[in-house]
């Protein structure tokens, strides 16, 4: 607890959130002023990202063969790149929809909103909401997380299984709400709705507008359009605003996406979350491989599905949408990290616990190492000299 870098990170986070909380109290975060977050937070985030980019360009990783890559190059090739992140999300969503159609599962679009005490201003006028209790977007997100934990537990008791995606996005005043694209058995849809409604109205359920606004359900009719297409605009809004003529709430889509990203960064809110088991880590590790040699037919089929971007085939071969993680055909492989010079086990920086890292994948007793090199970090200028 005496490490200055640990404290600096904590203090920077506290400073940013305290400043944004003050901006909210001053009425600077709403549809009339700064939508989703304050202008100061947007400016800070743009500067922060520019500094991060400069850092990535100035750092290189070098392996034992003296091959080197800048961190900026690698960042552009993975899901840190908004374009890649959006493409992967849409691929996985479309794959789930293909499975749902094949299994005749119900598709639901669900929206869950916080009680009025979390909303600081009215959308149309920008006036202060008298019911607001001073809660921040972070506290509102914690409320939604806690509510969803209760929902999940109840669904498990009722043996209601589902799969899909959850998107957390801000309303005009920065208060998060959730959109979910959910697939489940047809006969369980009504019970699922009842469970959501019960917990969504558990707190202040008798306040004006609660029954109309706290949760909303839309039944997706496959014959009228795709479920993935329905949620695509929400993905774009929360990634980069691409392919949108305007923000869902009005205004410039690109600027809105920047504000949403700044909001999520400030409050530490996870924007996208997969619902149900789907081994995306295995998916990504398989896509790192160029080829397989002398593997089982199942292993080869799963590799081919991942390599060709066929999420539906990948999930089915891994065990299906309702297969528990530990029962899936392939599991991520984690190993203890060793110092290449001394052979000693590496320990974490803060608590002296032995470090482990992702090394590859495992099918039964068969291990495939996807991360074959040992890398060290160097400064580009120092290396050039």
Domains and CATH numbers, the chain: 82-275 (3.30.70), 280-384 (no CATH)
230 tagged catalytic? yes
Cα(336)–Cα(155) distance, integer angstroms: 37
pTM of the model: 0.90
Q: Which of 163, 234, 334, 349 is catalytic?
A: 234
pLDDT tens across 248-288, in order? 566 688 889 999 999 999 999 999 999 987 799 999 999 98
Here the tokens at position 39 are: 């202008």
96 tagged catalytic? no
pLDDT tens across 86-110, in order? 999 999 999 999 999 999 999 999 9
Q: 69 - beta bridge partners?
A: 61
Q: Which of 96, 230, 334, 349 is catalytic?
A: 230
Cα(352)–Cα(228) distance, integer angstroms: 45
Cα(309)–Cα(93) distance, integer angstroms: 12
pLDDT tens across 45-69, in order? 999 999 999 999 999 999 888 888 9
């Amino acid at each position: 607890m005496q490490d200055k870098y640990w404290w600096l990170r904590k203090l920077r986070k506290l400073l940013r959130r305290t400043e944004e909380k003050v901006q909210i109290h001053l009425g600077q975060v709403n549809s009339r002023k700064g939508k989703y977050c304050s202008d100061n937070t947007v400016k800070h985030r743009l500067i922060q990202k520019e500094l991060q980019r400069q850092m990535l360009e100035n750092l290189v990783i070098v392996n034992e063969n003296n091959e080197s890559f800048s961190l900026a190059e690698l960042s552009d090739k993975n899901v840190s790149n908004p374009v890649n992140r959006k493409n992967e999300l849409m691929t996985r969503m479309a794959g789930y929809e293909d499975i749902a159609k094949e299994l005749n599962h119900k598709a639901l679009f669900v929206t869950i909103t916080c009680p009025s005490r979390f909303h600081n201003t009215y959308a149309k006028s920008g006036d202060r909401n008298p019911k607001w209790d001073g809660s921040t977007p972070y506290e509102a997100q914690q409320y939604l997380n806690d509510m969803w934990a209760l929902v999940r537990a109840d669904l498990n008791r009722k043996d209601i299984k589902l799969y899909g995606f959850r998107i957390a996005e801000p309303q005009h005043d920065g208060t998060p709400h959730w959109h979910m694209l959910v697939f489940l058995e047809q006969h369980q849809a009504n019970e699922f709705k009842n469970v959501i409604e019960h917990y969504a109205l558990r707190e202040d359920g008798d306040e004006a507008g609660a029954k109309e606004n706290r949760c909303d359900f839309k039944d997706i009719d496959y014959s009228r359009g795709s479920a993935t297409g329905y949620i695509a605009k929400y993905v774009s809004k929360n990634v980069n605003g691409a392919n949108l003529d305007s923000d869902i709430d009005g205004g410039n889509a690109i600027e809105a996406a920047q504000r949403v990203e700044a909001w999520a960064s400030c409050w530490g809110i996870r924007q996208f979350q997969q619902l149900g088991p789907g081994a995306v880590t295995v998916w990504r590790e398989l896509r790192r491989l160029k080829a397989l040699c002398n593997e089982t037919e199942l292993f080869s089929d799963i590799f081919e599905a991942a390599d060709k971007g066929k999420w539906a085939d990948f999930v089915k071969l891994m065990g299906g949408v309702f297969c528990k993680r530990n029962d899936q055909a392939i599991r991520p492989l984690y190993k203890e990290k060793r110092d290449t010079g001394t052979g000693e086990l590496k320990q974490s920086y803060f608590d002296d616990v032995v470090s482990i890292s992702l090394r590859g994948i495992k099918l039964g007793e068969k291990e495939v190492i996807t991360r074959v090199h040992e890398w060290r970090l160097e400064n580009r200028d120092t290396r050039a000299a």
